[in-house]
Amino acid sequence: MSVAESLFTSFFPADCRICHNPLSNISRLPVCHECLSAIHPITGTLCSVCGERILTPFIASQDSGPKCGVCRQIPPRYEHAVAYGSYEGALRDLIHLLKYEGVRPASGILGQMLSEVIGSLEPEFGNAPVLLIPVPLHVSKRKQREFNQAEMIARVALQSLPAARFELNLQILERRRATLSQIGLSSHQRRENLRGAFAITSVDAVKDREVLLVDDVLTTGTTASECARVLRRAGTSRVYVATVARTFKYEAQYVNPGFSEEAAINAKTKTAAAG
């Protein structure tokens, strides 16, 4: 440690907000280099539609890429969902720092991650500019939080993307009804919780357009699916989804050698049909 770093630690003591070890570098983001280095992109075989991790060797690959059982039987309303990392560990903590503790400098790192996954979707877009829409918050939630984390992360991501390629729009999709937290709700309850929550303010603005829906986390996928449903009903040609993180489901079932491919597909299909 240099003399300057030692003096900084002595006179301005602070701990990493994730691992709680002392920080030695002056930074607006109170997270140490070790914690940031622990965040890695998703690896392995993923569903080419929903982005779910595929751990069974029995899922057949197609020309467009491998598809999980649900997407082969019940395709979602969006074309493709991608995420940078798994919603766990340091990445989850970093998102929480922004979302729940108001540590806004965290948006810089998260926005860079989002820009990488958006870049991976580039070959799938058409020639026209793509509408980039952050998942909106209800006015009451935005007033409480004072910002929309999806919008903040999206603005950072756009700084690293071709300016003419994307058109940020914050008015087309709005959240007209406050909803309960999705945590702990069943698939049916999640669907009912979001029914009628989103609306399009201008059908002409989205008709025949490609839309990139962005958010911080894709957990159950219910919110993204509902937004995509509303957008497609309004006439959008395609909807894509990009998030910083996502949760993975059914891993325990896939790694269980006694759990057959047919049983895995049936379990996922029942969940998708219910929600």
- How far lies 104's CA from each of 153, 170, 243, in Å? 10, 19, 17
Its pTM stands at 0.83
Tell me the H-state helices in the chain.
Answer: 3-11, 33-37, 69-73, 89-99, 106-121, 139-145, 149-158, 187-194, 203-206, 222-233, 251-255, 261-274
As for how many domains the chain has, the answer is 1
Instruction: Kindly state whether residue 153 falls inside one of the protein's structural domains.
Output: yes
Question: Where residue 205 sits, what CATH number does that domain have?
Answer: 3.40.50
pLDDT of res. 68 = 87
pLDDT of res. 14 = 83
Q: Which residues of the chain have pLDDT under 50?
A: 10, 251-275
Instruction: Kindly state whether residue 21 falls inside one of the protein's structural domains.
Output: no
Instruction: Kindly state whether residue 131 falls inside one of the protein's structural domains.
Output: yes
Instruction: Kindly state whether residue 1 falls inside one of the protein's structural domains.
Output: no
Instruction: Kindly state whether residue 3 falls inside one of the protein's structural domains.
Output: no
Cβ contacts of 132 within 8 Å, gap of 6 or more: 154, 158, 166, 167, 168, 169, 211, 212, 214
Q: Whole domain around residue 166: which residue ranges? A: 41-95+106-274
Given a contact cutoff of 8 angstroms between Cβ atoms, the answer to whether 208 and 235 are in contact is: yes
pLDDT of res. 61 = 56
Instruction: Kindly state whether residue 127 falls inside one of the protein's structural domains.
Output: yes
Query: What values do phi and psi take at 273, rounded to 5?
Result: -65, -35
Instruction: Kindly state whether residue 89 falls inside one of the protein's structural domains.
Output: yes
d(CA 86, CA 191): 23
Instruction: Kindly state whether residue 22 falls inside one of the protein's structural domains.
Output: no
pLDDT of res. 69 = 85
